[in-house]
Every structure is written in C-alpha cells, then in structure tokens.
Amino acid sequence: MPTPPTIVIKKNSRHRGHHTGAWKVAYADFVTAMMALFIVLWLLNSSKQVQDAVGGYFRDPTGTAKKAGSNQNGSAENIKLTKENMNKLKEELQKSIRSISDLEKLRKNIEITVIAEGLRIELLESAKGTFFESGSSRLNENGKEMLVLLAQDLSSVPNHVSIEGHTDAKPYGERANYSNWELSADRANAARRIMQQAGLRQDQVSQVRGFADQRLRNAVDPFDASNRRISIIVQYLTSPADEDEKSAASAAEAANASPESGDQAPAENAAEKNKADDYFSSA
C-alpha cells in the first residue's frame, strides 16, 4: 500500500501589519479635533470678558507684554511715568480703548487729558446713563467693562491713582439723608472696588473723593449730563530732577533766613522774662 503524501499547510502572514497601533494615531487626531470644536462652541457662547481673557492669553501667554515700568521683561517699553513722559501712558490707553470694538459707541464719553496733577481719565455720563444706572451708584455693563480695561492697563505702572466722583447741580431726589455728596462718593468708591478686583493693586489707590456739583465740567450749564462723571487721575511720580529742585529750594530758603532774627529771639525772650519777674515782684 503506497504511503500517503505529506500535506504542508503554509499560512500567509503578510497582512498582519493592519493590526498594529496605527489606528490609535487617527483616533487621537479625531478626539483632538472634537475637543477644539467644543472649545470654539464654548467661546462663542461665553461673555465678552471671557473671550477677551482667552484671546489675551494666546496673544501674550507669559503675561508680561504690559509690565511697563516694572522689572519684568515684556514687549512693552519700560515707562517711568513722570511729567516728562505721561503722554506715553495716554497713547497706550487710547490704543487699548480703540481695540475694543464693543466700546466704539462709548469713545465720545471718554476723555483723557494730561493735567498738572497727572493723567486724568474721565468717564462722562449721558442723559440716559452711560456707565452708571441713572441716579444710582450701581455700574452697568459698559461701566464695568471700561473700568476693568483701565485697571488692567494701570495695574502695570508704579504710579498712585486717585478716583473722583462728580454730579450735576440737580438735587438728588427727595431723600433728606442722601444727596449729591453721597452719590458722588459712592460712585467713586464703586469704581475703586471694580478696578481693584480687576487687578489694580490695593496700595495703588491713594484717594477716593466725592465732589458733588462743586467742580462742574460745564459751568455754563450746571445741569448738563457731562457734569456727572468719574475722574481717574494717574498721579505723577517724582523724578530725580524734581527731587534735586525741591532740595535746592529748601536749601536756598534756609540760607536766606536772617541770622539777626535768630540773635534777636533770645534777647526778646529775656526781656519778656524780666518783665514777668518785675510784675510778680511788685505784686
């Protein structure tokens, strides 16, 4: 009987490469794309403040671009805000305000000027109320957004800030215990709270003042809506030249003091003492 032939079965293993981990890469790309999609959808439904914060991070991840006047290394020019260069801060603030498209309609209610005390930023009210609710110290959304923007810019400078509240000459309602004095002070204090929450340093605010209608912006029309305003004043830093000038003035004043007056003082005191002794001895 013949021997049956040997049957050899060969398995083809050339297609095993399809079962490697290459699919994981494609899946990871898909998950990443879905995550990016959901982040975009979340941002589209977020508030303007959140959108600006996220956008600011991607524009400046290190957060040092606006560290002007500090020891941080940022893209901004280091500015020591004295009388000689306060205009640089004015330009930076105007640039920041122009970059916010939502505040386009409010630009006519924002006035920035260099004055003897420093840089003054004024938020002017309109007849319908621009930054505050009418007759109240409560800030509306426009007021909060503007003060947050200003606080973020001013927090990076070493200068002190004073905040003033002003009203028009129209008496405040019928409340006997609340007047334009209280309203102006409360509005200034409300602005301080928002700005410090947004980044203004606790020791940066030097004064919070309420002037009621005593410093009218439009004195011709005391009831004009622009008289109702908040003034934020960035005070000058004293430069070395100012210090030298002040020291020289003090030295000159001391040098000009008459030496004769110093000699006369003991003599006058002695004469007064002798008169007093004579009086008591005669009594």
Strand-pair partners of 234: 119, 161
Which residues in the chain belong to E strands, given as ranges?
110-114, 118-124, 161-166, 205-210, 229-235
pLDDT at position 254: 61
As a whole number of angstroms, the distance between CA 111 and CA 226 comes to 11
pLDDT at position 162: 95
Average pLDDT over residues 214-238: 90
Q: What is the layout of strands, in order, in the sheet containing 229-235? A: 110-114, 118-124, 229-235, 161-166, 205-210
Phi, psi of 17 (to 5 degrees): -60, -25
Per-residue tokens: 197: 């929450």
As a whole number of angstroms, the distance between CA 231 and CA 208 comes to 10
The rounded Cα 56 to chain-centroid distance in angstroms is 16
As a whole number of angstroms, the distance between CA 148 and CA 83 comes to 25
Average pLDDT over residues 86-113: 77
Encode pLDDT of 148-201 as tens digits: 989 988 888 888 999 999 999 998 876 778 899 999 999 999 999 999 999 899
What mean pLDDT value characterizes the chain?
A: 77
Q: Exposed, middle or buried by CB within 10 Å (0-12, 13-18, 19+), for 132?
A: buried
As a whole number of angstroms, the distance between CA 39 and CA 239 comes to 48
First to last CA, the chain: 170
pLDDT at 30 over 80: yes
pLDDT at position 9: 74
pLDDT at position 75: 33
pLDDT at position 84: 67
Task: Return the minimum-mean-pLDDT range out of 35-39, 74-78, 158-162.
Answer: 74-78
> pTM for the whole thing?
0.57
Q: In the block, which residue shows the tokens 């007047």?
A: 179
Per-residue confidence at 270, pLDDT binned at 50, 70, 90?
A: low
Encode pLDDT of 197-218 as tens digits: 998 998 999 999 999 999 999 9
pLDDT at position 187: 95
Three-state SS for 139?
strand
pLDDT at position 221: 94
205-210 and 161-166 strand pairing: parallel
pLDDT at 16 over 60: no
pLDDT at 105 over 50: yes
pLDDT at position 260: 47
As a whole number of angstroms, the distance between CA 36 and CA 28 comes to 12
pLDDT at position 120: 93
Using CA atoms, how far residue 278 sits from 208, 265, 267, 268, 274, in Å, is 57, 20, 17, 15, 6
